[in-house]
Amino acid sequence: MNPDLVYLAQTETTAGFLSQNAEALIKTKNRPSGKSFLMSVDSLTTLRRFTRVPKRHKNRVRKAQKTTFVYSCGLAIRVVKDEAHLQFLRKLKWTYSTSSNPSGKGFDEVYAQERADVILFTCKGFFEAKPSSILKLGKRKIQKLR
């Protein structure tokens, strides 16, 4: 797997563009360069390479499903639990992730397939579901962002 390519894959919640190259994702989506991406990681071990989870929230992060956490370092990271998505993610360990739709619009499969370097089809096909929750973790408090 080439970490610089942009992959179109079904994530836990929506069809998304995945890559370890943030610049490639910015170019693919015509997105403002200052806007940050979510990160998807394959395990808690990989998560520890990027940030420290506050002791008070370790159990919550370990058990969370379809939830992205924003840490004090400014990174938004989700530990993926969905087995189909994990099969891809285990090869790269982590990726930046963004939805495959044009900014502010719904999912368009034709648009997504034209923009991706590699398309990963599954038996479920591509779909859009309820977006993941985003929680900001402080030392003591949790703030719901979405």
Domain that holds residue 86: 7-144
- Examine residue 31 and state whether it is found in any structural domain, yes or no: yes
Which pair of tokens denotes residue 113?
A: 């397939």
- Examine residue 87 and state whether it is found in any structural domain, yes or no: yes
- Examine residue 48 and state whether it is found in any structural domain, yes or no: yes
- Examine residue 1 and state whether it is found in any structural domain, yes or no: no
- Examine residue 93 and state whether it is found in any structural domain, yes or no: yes
- pLDDT averaged over the chain? 89
Q: Are 10 and 124 in contact (CB under 8 A)?
A: yes
Q: How confident is residue 123, by pLDDT bands cut at 50, 70 and 90? A: low
Q: What is the mean pLDDT of residues 120-133?
A: 78
Strand partners, 41: 79, 94
Count of residues in the chain = 146
CATH of the domain at 91: 3.90.870.10
Residue recorded with tokens 């034209």 = 114
pLDDT at 105: 76
DSSP secondary structure string for all residues of 40-94: EESSHHHHHHH----GGGHHHHHH-SSEEEE-TTS-EEEE---HHHHHHHHHHSE
pLDDT digits (tens, 9 = 90+) for 18-58: 999 999 999 988 888 788 899 999 999 999 999 999 999 99
Q: pTM of the entire structure?
A: 0.87
Q: Residue 104 in 3-state DSSP?
A: coil
- Examine residue 38 and state whether it is found in any structural domain, yes or no: yes
Which pair of tokens denotes residue 66?
A: 């379809």
Distance CA 7, CA 119 (A): 6
Report the domain count for the chain: 1
- Examine residue 2 and state whether it is found in any structural domain, yes or no: no
